[in-house]
Structures are given as C-alpha cells and as structure tokens.
Structure 1
Amino acid sequence: MRSIIVVAITYCFSLHHTYSQKLVSLQEINSTYEQLKNENPDSAGAVILLGRELLMNQEDSVVATYYMNLSDHFYTEREIDSSIYFTNKAYQLFVQLNNSRGLVISLADLGLYAYHKNRFVKSQEYYQEALKLAESNRLSEERLMVLSRIGFLYTLEERFDEAYNYALLAYQGRRDELTPDLVKATFNLANLLKRMSRYEEALSYLDTMDQQTIALDFDYGRAKGLVMKAYVLIELSRFDEATDALDQARIIYEMLQIPFEMFQLEMAQGQIEQERGDFVAMDKQMKRIERWLFAAEQDNELLYEYYDALYHCNKGLGRTDKALTALESKSILRDSIFNTTSASQRDELIEKYESEKKDQEIANLAQQATIQSLQIQTRNYQLLGFGVVGIMLAGFGFMFYKQKSASQKQKVADVEQKLLRLQMNPHFFFNALAVIQGLMDQRDTDKASMFLARFSRLMRQTLEYSREEFISLEEEQELLENYIRLQMLSTGIQFKFKIVIAENLDAFETLVPPMIAQPFVENAIMHAGLGDMDDSLLIVEFSKIREQLKLVISDNGHGIKEKKEDSGHKSLAMQITKERLELLGQKFKTKLDLKIESSEKGTSVELDLPVFK
C-alpha cells in the first residue's frame, strides 16, 4: 500500500513539471505495477492508469515499457482491442530503439491477443516470429516465455502432444531458479496434464506449485493453483479434498476481490455438489455463482458455463421448465461461440488471400502507373497555373477554418483539463491518502483494503470518464455513490443520501456529460452543513420532463456558508461547470438552465439538460 501512496504523490507533483521529472514518475509507475499486478490486480490497474496523462508521445524505452504495462492492464480487464492498440504503439517504439527484448515481448503479446480474437494462424505467426528473434539474439528468458505461450496456445487448440513438448521445454528451462515465471510454467504444465487426463501427474506438479508460491509469498498464484487442484480432484471423485482446496483459495480471493477468479472457484464448488447429487446444495451455490458472474466482465464462454450448471441444477431438482430455459440459453450461446470462432477464422483466411491477391495486383499496376504518369505529367503542366491560384484560395480558406476550429478545440481542451484537475481535488486526494495511512498505522488492514479499493475505483473512473463526451446514467450513478461514500469516510461527515433515477429513464441508454453532478454534490457535502443534524439528507435525482433531463441536487443543511480557505475551490468549481454547460449549449444549440437556491432550510440545485442517447 505504501508503494501506491508513493506513486500517487509522485504523480501529483509531476503533472506540470519537466520531461525528466515525468520520466521518473513513469518509471515509478512501471515498477509499482510490476509489483502489484499478480497480488492486487485492481490496485495495479489504478496505478498504471495514472501514467496516461504523462508521456503519451515520447520516444523512450520507459514509455514503451509503460505502453506494454498498460496493454497488460487492459488484458486483465478483458479489453483486447485496447491491449492490441497499446502493444502496437510499444512495438513501433521498440523498432525505432532497436530493442530486441522489447520486440520479442510485444510480438508474443500480440500473439496472445490474436488468439483471443480467434485468429489462430495469425497468433502462430506472431509467436514463431518472436521465438526466432529471441533465439537469434540469445534472449534465453524471453525464449522460455514464448515457448510457454506456444504451449498454452496448442493446449487451447487441444493439440496436446505439441503443447506438452513446448510446455515441458519452458518448465525445464526455469526450474533451476525460484521465480513467479517458474510458477506460471508449472501451472501451465499441470493444466495441460489435466486436459490430457493425466491427473496424478497434474497433482504432483500442483503440489510443487503450492510449495513454490508459499516460498515466494505469491498469494494470487497459490489461489489459482488450489482452484486447479480442486478441478483435478473432482475428476478423481475426491470431493472432500477438493472442497478443502477451494476453502483455502476462497480466503485469498475474498481479500483480493477478483470477480472472474471467484466465479471459477464457485463454479468448482457447484460442480462438487452436482457430482455428489446434492442439488439442493447446488441450488444455493448457484446464488453465489450468479453474484460473481454479474460482477465479472461477462462473455459468452462464462455465460455458457453458468447456463450449463444451471441446467443440471434445475434438472436435478425436477424443475423441467427452468431446465429447458437454461438449456435453450446454453444452446444459443454455444452456437454464438461456434459462429464467432468460425467467422473469425474464415475472415482471417479471406484476409490472407486478399492480401496476396493485392500484392500481385500492385505489381501489375506499377508498370501501368509508370506509363500513365508520363501522360499525366504533360497535362499537369497545363493545369499548373490554374492549380496554383486554386490552391492559394483554398489554402486561405482552410487556414481560416483551421484557426477557428483550433480555437474552439483549445477552449474545449482547456475546460476538460480544468475539469480533470477539479475532480482530483488535492484536498480530497491527500485526505484520502491520509486516511489510508492512518488505517495502516492502526493495523486495521480490512478497512484500509476496503477504502483503498474504493479510492482506486474512483481514480480509475475519474481518469477514464474525463476523456469521454458522455457516459451512461448508470455509470454516473455508480461514480457519484463511490465519491459520496469516500467523502464520508475521509471527512468524517455522516449523513444519509439517495440517488434516484425516475422510472421513465433508461439508466443504461440515457447519456449525460461525465461527472456533471459531482461539483454540486461536493459543495453540498463541504459547504451546506450536512452532518450538523442527525437527520441530514442529500438527494440526487434524475428525471425526464417534456423531453428534458432534469437533475436536482437537494439537501436539508443550513445553507451554503463559504469558508475563506475553501471559497477559491468552490468558486472555481462553479466557474468550470458553467463553462462546460456553455460549451455543451453551443454544441447542441440549446440553452442549459442552471438554478441554485440556498437558505437556512437547505440548498437546491436544478439543471436542465437535453436527453442524450
């Protein structure tokens, strides 16, 4: 936790300083991300996102490494397109820097992402290119990493004999040194042996992995090994041992709060109940599975696993209608997965054919182009005089347009930057860090972890949403709730609050400018006397009235009374918010009405917006 605080403070002081100071911050971010990504992925994600504002267009190995870490973060979030984008940016920098190691790693990552896009042939090409480059440059560590990746790829394709050869080479190359990479190689080999039904050998490797993770204090890796061990034990009908393994893993995962891993764990427990024939217990287990399914980033494969388990549960309990419904959903998802994979592979082959065809066409057209260029050259001289005059006139018009457009874009950018700095209010930011430090000093680790998770989530939301023109009403509601709870924890101000969305609004389809309500909520908490009374109440309400979205923020405090030391931030918040509303009004050619009333009985803010969808 201390490393996160160091990074956060370094980041704050680097935003407006020199390139070298920003470079130091980026190095600290890279280092902290590497430390946290295996043990606390959520905090690691918050840390890596800090760097997006620092060095986005510098040609430096530190920046390239940052892009790789950022793509790794998006991979854990299952945002494969973003991972591909940032890995390609890193690859381009590594080419310019002639960095062989970076090229191998980026090619291997592109191979992994290509597989997730169901492009198996392309994935193989990336991996083989990475392996060749690693071997030619005698990069032994990177070579082992690529071998492990290729083994995993063939495992997923059920080409087990080929997969085993690669996985075994990767494991043998690492077993002389105890590292997290050795743990991964052991896990991959055990997973492969499980898929090959060589269960006793798989258990042997998983026991070795357990000893490795304990020696390394690698909790996340140990939990993954224990869940894998449970699945192997289920295949051997050793259900009590499997339950013990899951109980140990659950203790670790409940501290880390990783929805995808918890879903896999609870699915294993559900499979135990199914194999035992205890469908009443399995029915209760399905509720726990549902909780983590909806918390995780859902995809068709996860949903398929869920509906398969739900079908067997309902069938075992004699719920014929529900079993048939689950079976129907399972069949639809199976067809969807198959069609998506088949379509992607078909598109890949078509793309390869079209590429080769275009290469041939380009070669044929090159000769024709040479002849045509000579004919065109003569005609161009005749048009040159007219062209120069036309270009000059067009140039003057274009310059005038660009100057006006640039002025408007700069004005928008200025407001966006002011908004970002407003959301990351230094008073709130450092108060939150002080609370975390205090809880750590008091050894209240549970509360510190909870606070840090909320704080990390808010930082991520703020950085992500500040770049969006609109977010959904549901996302705005989640951000506001997280912000209010953190303010209550960090300031000690206690009050009740409600965030209400009217029934005639679709929270997922209706869009609002990001963080449009936050400055008004902050004023209510910090300046309106909330917490001075036992029945203090803050209400944020979104409703739809005559095709207008009405936002009302009201409280029953004693009214806004400015404190001298806070008035600067408060007036800045109002000024920036008014500038945002003015720009939105100009863009959408409408007037956005803002009305603020404050008295001893409370404060009310009303804002009318168009309904964006």
Structure 2
Amino acid sequence: MNTQSLTKKWSKTICLAFLYSLSIFSNCYSKGNRIQSSDLKDSLISLLKKSGNDTLMIDSVYAHIRINRRRLGEEYKNTLLEYIDYTTKIQYSRGAMRMYDRLGLNERYDERYDSAVYYHLKSLELALELKDSFQMAYNYNNIGQAYRLQDINNLAIKNFHKALELQEANGNDKGASFTQNTLGAVYVVQKEYDQAMHYFRESQKIAVRRKDQRTQSYNLGAIGEVFLLRDQPDSAIVYFNTAKDIKQQMGDKKGLAVSKHLVGQAYFKKGNYVEAQKFLNEALVIHQKYNNERYIALCFDYLGKVKLKQNQFSEAGAYLLKAKEIASNIHSYENLISINNSLKEYYQEMDKWPMAMLAIQQNQQINDSLFSLKKTREMQALEIEYETEKQEQQIKLLSAENEIKEQRLKIGIAIITLLVLTIAFGIFIQKEKQKRFVLERDKVKQQLLRSQMNPHFLFNALGSIQSYMYQNDVKTAARYMGNFASLTRSILNNSAVEQVSLEEEISTLTNYLELEKMRLQSNFQYSIKVPEEMDIEFITVPPMLIQPFVENAIKHGIKNYTSGGKVELTFEETSDLIHVIIEDNGEGIDTTRGKMVSSHKSMATSIFKQRMKIIRDKFPNVPEPVIADLSDVNRKGTRIDLYLPILELTSTSNA
C-alpha cells in the first residue's frame, strides 16, 4: 500500500471517529438531554461490536453500561445479556465474568434470587479459571446476600465465610469489615448472639483502623441491639448514643433517626418512659420526613406501649391503630406481632375482650404462616445446598489458599524474571529509560462536564489534528483523534450524573493530560500516584472537580517552559474524604490574596466554586482547597491540596 492510499485510509478512519463522537454528542443533547433506553442500548451494543477484540474498548463499554443503568431502564438486563454473548463469543472471559456478576446483582435487586445465585455462580466459574481471587470474594459475598434475603441463613453464612477467607488473605480490609458486619447480622437472626458480637467487634477493629465512620456507626448500633436482646438496656444505650453521635457528625439523618428510636426502645425496656417518649418522637419526625413506613410503624408501636405503661389508654389506642394500619399495608409481619400484643393489652384494659381475642388469633395466624414459611425455606435450603455443591464440583472449585499461593508464586516468578532481564540489559537500555515511561491508557469511562469542553479547547484540539495531517504524520493524528473522541464521549455520556468512581476520574485526568502533552509537543511530564490498597473502583466522588486545577497548572504554572515542566497528582484516602495533591514546578503564585487566586479566572474555576458550595452544604466536613507557593519551602512551583467527599455507594456487602 503506497503512502497516498495509507494517508487516505487513516484520514477516513479519523473522520469516521470524529463524526461518530459528534453524532453521539448531538443525539444526547437533543430533546432536553433525553434519550430512549432502546436507542441507548443499541448505541452501546453497536460500539461493543465495533470494538472487535480490543479489550480496552470492551471494558469502556462495560463501564458505560454500569453508569447508565437507570437510563437503560427496562433494556438494562438485555444489554447485559448481549454483552455476555459477545464477550463469550470472542473468548474474553474477564469481561463475561464481571458482567455475569453484574447480572446477578440486577436479579437480586428485582428479588429474583434463584437466577441471581445462578449468574453469580457463572461469574465464579470464570473467576476460578482466571484465578481471580478478588472476583471470587465478590461472588461468594453476593451469593451470600441472595441467600440472606431469602432467610436461607445457613447457606448465607457458608458463603460469607468463604468471602471473608479470601478478603483476609488478599488484605482487603474494607471488604472484610463489611462481610464481618453482615455475618454478625445473620447470626443475630439466628439468635447466636456470641457469634454475632464476635464479628461485629472484629469489623469494628478494622473500621476504626481505616477511620471508616459509616461502618463504625453500623457496628456500634448492632452491638447495642445485641445488648438490648440480652436485656442489658444500660449497655445498649451507651452504644446507641455513640452510634448516634457519629451519624450526627456525618450528617446521616436517616441513620440518626434509627439510632434515636433504638435509644427510645432501650429506655422503654429500662422503664424510663419519659426519655423513651422523647427519643421516639424525635425519631418519628425524621422517619416521616423520609416516608420510612417500616420505622414509622415501629415508632407508633413503641409510643403506644409507652402510653399503656403511663395508663393513657386513649392515646395508646390511637398510636397502636396507626402502627397496625401501616404495618399491614407494607406486610411487616414482625411489627404486626408486636403491635397485636400491645393491642391485646390495650383491649383488655378497655374491657373489649372480643377485640383482645381477635388480636391473639391474628398473631396465631401470623406465627403459623411464618412457621410454615420457615420450614419450607429449610427444605429449600437443603436442596439448594446440594445443587450448589454439585455445581462447585463440576467447575472444580479451588480452595482460596491454593489460589492465592499460586498467584503469589506467579508474581514472584515475574519479579525475578524482570530483575534478571533488567540486570542483563540495563547497560544497553540506560539511555532509553525516559522513553519507557508507560502511560496508563484511557478506558473511556470518565465524566467531563460540558463546561470543560470550551471552544478554545476544541479549536486547539482540531488545529493540532489538522497540523499532524498536513505533516503527513497519520499515526500521531490518529492517536490524537482517538484520545479526543474518547474525551468527547466521556463528557457526553456523564454530563447528567452526579458521581463517578475514582478510577474513572483518574482515567479522565490521564486522558486530558495526555492530550495536552501531545498538543504542546511534550514540553512537560506528568505523574499520577495512587496507593495500591486504595479501592478506586468502589470509591465514588463528584466528577470533574480536579481538572480545572490541572488545567491551571499546565496553562499558567508551566506555560513558559519549552521542556522540563512537571505536573504531579497524588491521591490519598482519609476517613470519608479523598485528599488530592496537585503540584507543578512553575513560577509559583502569590498566595497572600486568599483563596483560588490566579491571573486567569476561568469559567471552570467559577463553576468549581459553585459546586463546592453545594457539596459543603451536604458535607460540611469537606475543607476548602489550600493553594501554596512552594517558593516558601525552598522549592519552585505551586501545590494545591483539594478534598473530595466519598459519596454513598450501593454496596454488595449490604453492611
């Protein structure tokens, strides 16, 4: 193929990529930012099939499917199935493995528990083939959750223990803490309080070490409930109040309401009805605000019990009848048993013996139904356990210890091999070290807000592409075009969402920095440092709050460099915050004028201030950004310390 035809081929490829990115951009922003779920599904599957065997592109489609779960709506499950069919067809087992797990979660959320277990087992089969012990832990945990929600507690416990063994071996403290918390909750249902207390305390040790306030509050509340079940209300009150203080500090109003009504229950059991009524009323106000019917019924029930103890029978009857109406509507049978017992006492005090007898009969019917359901589930558990063990044998389930040992052995061999090669060829590649810096490839799962795509950036990008093509440098032009199209797709697909994973945010920054580096013809180097133990895939943060600072570091910090410029990003996890450090070796700034001062006050910076104001309204513990001139510490450049809140994430551990 001659140079002219090659140039024509690459030009066509670049144009198609550009037109495709613009067509998606136009489609998504038309009709008031609305897009039909079927159209979105077709676009994603079309992009998947165009990916061929490019696993990077396939993984990016996976990320977009996850992000657009709500927008896909009823097409979400079909999209997952088509993704699995395609990755199975091209023998990309890792893609199918992750999507089977995602499909199992979808079935669980829709209360189709049998199919949820089936899909998680399919994911587990592939995880075993790939010797992926981290994915195995997710699978066992998710299988345990499906059994737990069906009250098949023996199988739930069995799978949670398998997950916990893997998490501890992998050093996954966060996952282990969640699983221990869930195990404790299952043992409470089983009335095995010593076992429950053990796992709550083990989870708490990790949560304290990790400064994980959310899990600490869960564990403290759970320990308090065990004390309450053991008729130790004084100890229960201590733990409930500590959990309440943490939730108040975090701004968790729903959790605060739960803690308040637990404190009220403990005071009721202690016989202090005045304090009980006070805390129950405070909890009721919050529960009603969020329309949490189960807890509203519970508060009315206990307020009725308080009034019975105070011989205020008229008010007691009103509370208990409200509680019964709500509990009946939501089929909360445990609440109904407690309410009927209180109503029986109320009717006896009012000499309404037929009504008292009716309450007793209703409880007997509920208990008979629950007993029958329990026996049915026990039989079901035996059958499921047999089938599960048979499936595990069919896929030759490996023990966690052997899996991890084999992985460590392979890593050890790889390290030794790398060291030998490095020593053998070190002399010959000394001059090539700087060229071997490997950039993390963009996975096209970022969120870039529309404000980031200003005309200046677009003109620069298109001008650079045009320049490369005039120079007949089609490879560089194609590479630049690919990164530009990826960045455009990210902005478009995520402009409506409020959170992304930290992994996606880092990938976005990498892509942006690489584009700027190519445009400026490598007049600077950049680095992004992330601790290995940070679970960036499962940490979610507000999107595109870091990019404006990176943009200023390039455009104003190192703007006068023709070479030797540096931009460094460092990520750290502290309690419920992500700490981001952005440094450049530019000329520095004058920090005496206050917050966020520079010679360039961009629209992105203005939007950042507005967004941070909204974020601090919800998360008052998020500090202001701190900008420091490094010349004050005998260095050159600027350092920015930025803090982002870790947002709420639907967890598979259900802790």
Per the normalisation by structure 1, the TM-score is 0.48
Higher-RCO chain (CA-CA 8 Å, sequence separation at least 6):
2
Per the normalisation by structure 2, the TM-score is 0.45
